[in-house]
C-alpha cells in the first residue's frame, strides 16, 4: 500500500474533541480556535451518573458526552460532519485508507489504552479519545493527536485495536470529517454564541434532575459527606477515582472551566459584551476551586492530609455556589 502524506498543521490543544474540531475545521477553511469550538459546541457540563460504571466506579462527567461538541458546532455553525461506524474493524481500517487515498484527513474515536505513543503510566481504559489521522507511511499511520505536543505515528495493528475495543463508550471504529463547511463570512457568530450560552447556563442552572448541573454538584457533596469510612481501601479508591475523572480524563473539572472561560473572553469581544468576560473570570475562579478540591482529595488518598470528608463536601458546595454565579452572569448577559 502506497504512502500518503496530507499537509496538515498540527496544534496541541487542551482537550481532544474540541482540538479535533478546531483542527479539522481550520484545515477545511473555517479557522476556529479550540476555545470557540468548545464554547459554540456547548461542551461544558457536570453530571454524576452512578448507573454508568468505569472500573466499577460511577461516572463523574465535566463535559458533554462524546460527539456532543461535534454536534453542537454542526448545529450552530451550519457545518455538516459525516460520521461512519463499522461493525467489522477491518472494514473500518479499509474505510480509513480510502479517505486517506482521497486526500482527506479524518477524526477518529479510540481507546487511550491501546495507543502506544502514550506513556505507559498515562494509558487507561477510556474509549472516547479523539485524534486525527493525516497520512500513512510504511505500515504506520500519521497521527495528529491534539493532546500531544508533536505529530506522531501509530502502527496499524494498534490503531485497529484502539478503534474497535468493546465496553463503555465503545468507539465502534468511528471516523468523521467535515463534509461541508460554510463560508466563514456567512456565519452568524453572535447568534451561535448566544444560543450556546443559553443552552449551557440553562442546563447547569435549571435541569430538573439532581444528577446534572449545579444541583448535581450538590448531590455529590452530600454523597461524599456520607461515604462510609469502615473500609478505608474502598473509600480511597472512590476518592482517587473522583480525582482521576476530574484531572486525568480529558482536561477534567478545572481544565474545562478554564477552556470555557477562554471562550467567554473571546465571545465578549465578538458580541461587544464585556459582561461575558466577567462571567469568564467567575468561571475561572470556579476552576481554581475544582483544582483545590482535587488536591485535597489526592492528599487524603496518599495520607499526606488527614481524611476529612466534611471538608471535601464543603469544598464541593463552594464550587456549586461559584458556578451558579458564573452561569447566572452569562445567562443575564446573553
This prediction has a pTM of: 0.93
Q: Per-residue pLDDT for the chain (334 aa), expressed as one digit of tens each?
A: 799 999 999 999 989 999 999 999 999 999 999 999 999 999 999 999 999 887 789 989 999 988 999 999 999 999 999 999 999 999 999 999 999 999 999 999 999 999 999 988 778 778 889 999 999 999 899 999 999 999 999 999 999 999 999 987 899 999 999 999 999 999 999 999 999 999 999 999 999 999 999 999 999 999 999 999 999 999 999 999 999 888 876 556 788 999 999 999 999 998 999 999 999 999 999 999 999 999 999 999 999 999 999 999 999 999 999 999 999 999 999 8
CA–CA distances in Å: residue 292 to residues 35, 257, 288, 289, 319: 23, 14, 6, 5, 10
Using the structure block, give the residue that is written with the C-alpha cell 505515528: 153
Which residues, 6+ apart, have CB-to-CB distance to 304 below 8 Å? Answer: none
Domain boundaries, the chain: 4-31+80-180, 188-333
Please tell me the distance from the alpha carbon of residue 270 to that of residue 264, in angstroms, as a whole number: 10
DSSP 227-281: ---S-HHHHHHHHHHHHHHHHTSTTHHHHHHHHHHHHHHHHHHHHT-THHHHHHH
Q: Are 290 and 254 in contact (CB under 8 A)?
A: yes
* 4-31+80-180: in CATH 3.90.70: yes
Amino acid at each position: 500500500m502506497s504512502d500518503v502524506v496530507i499537509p496538515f498543521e498540527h496544534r496541541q490543544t487542551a482537550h481532544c474533541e474540541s482540538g479535533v474540531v478546531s483542527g479539522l475545521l481550520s484545515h477545511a477553511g473555517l479557522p476556529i480556535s479550540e476555545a470557540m469550538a468548545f464554547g459554540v459546541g456547548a461542551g461544558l457540563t457536570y453530571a454524576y451518573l452512578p448507573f454508568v460504571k468505569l472500573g466499577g466506579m460511577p461516572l463523574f462527567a465535566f463535559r458533554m458526552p462524546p460527539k456532543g461538541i461535534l454536534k453542537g458546532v454542526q448545529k450552530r455553525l451550519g457545518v455538516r460532519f459525516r460520521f461512519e461506524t463499522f461493525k467489522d474493524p477491518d472494514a473500518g481500517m479499509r474505510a480509513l485508507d480510502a479517505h486517506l487515498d482521497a486526500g482527506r484527513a479524518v477524526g477518529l474515536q479510540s481507546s487511550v489504552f491501546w495507543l502506544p505513543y502514550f506513556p505507559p503510566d498515562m494509558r487507561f481504559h477510556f474509549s472516547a479519545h479523539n485524534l486525527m489521522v493525516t497520512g500513512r507511511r510504511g505500515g504506520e499511520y500519521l497521527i495528529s493527536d491534539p493532546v500531544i505536543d508533536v505529530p506522531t505515528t501509530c502502527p496499524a495493528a494498534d490503531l485497529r485495536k484502539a478503534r474497535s475495543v468493546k465496553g463503555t463508550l465503545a468507539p465502534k471504529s468511528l471516523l468523521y470529517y467535515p463534509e461541508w463547511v460554510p463560508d466563514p463570512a456567512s456565519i452568524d457568530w453572535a447568534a451561535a454564541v448566544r444560543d450556546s450560552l443559553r443552552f449551557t447556563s440553562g442546563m447547569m442552572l435549571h435541569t430538573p434532575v439532581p444528577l446534572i448541573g449545579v444541583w448535581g454538584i450538590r448531590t455529590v457533596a452530600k454523597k461524599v459527606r456520607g461515604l462510609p469510612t469502615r473500609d478505608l481501601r474502598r473509600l480511597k479508591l472512590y476518592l482517587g477515582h473522583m480525582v482521576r475523572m476530574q484531572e486525568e480524563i480529558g482536561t477534567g473539572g478545572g481544565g474545562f472551566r478554564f477552556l470555557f472561560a477562554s471562550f467567554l473572553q473571546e465571545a465578549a469581544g465578538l458580541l461587544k459584551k464585556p459582561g461575558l468576560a466577567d462571567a469568564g473570570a467567575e468561571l475561572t475562579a470556579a476552576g481554581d476551586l475544582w483544582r483545590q478540591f482535587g488536591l485535597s482529595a489526592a492528599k487524603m488518598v496518599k495520607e499526606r492530609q488527614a481524611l476529612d470528608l466534611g471538608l471535601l463536601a464543603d469544598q464541593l458546595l463552594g464550587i456549586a455556589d461559584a458556578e451558579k454565579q458564573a452561569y447566572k452572569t452569562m445567562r443575564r448577559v446573553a
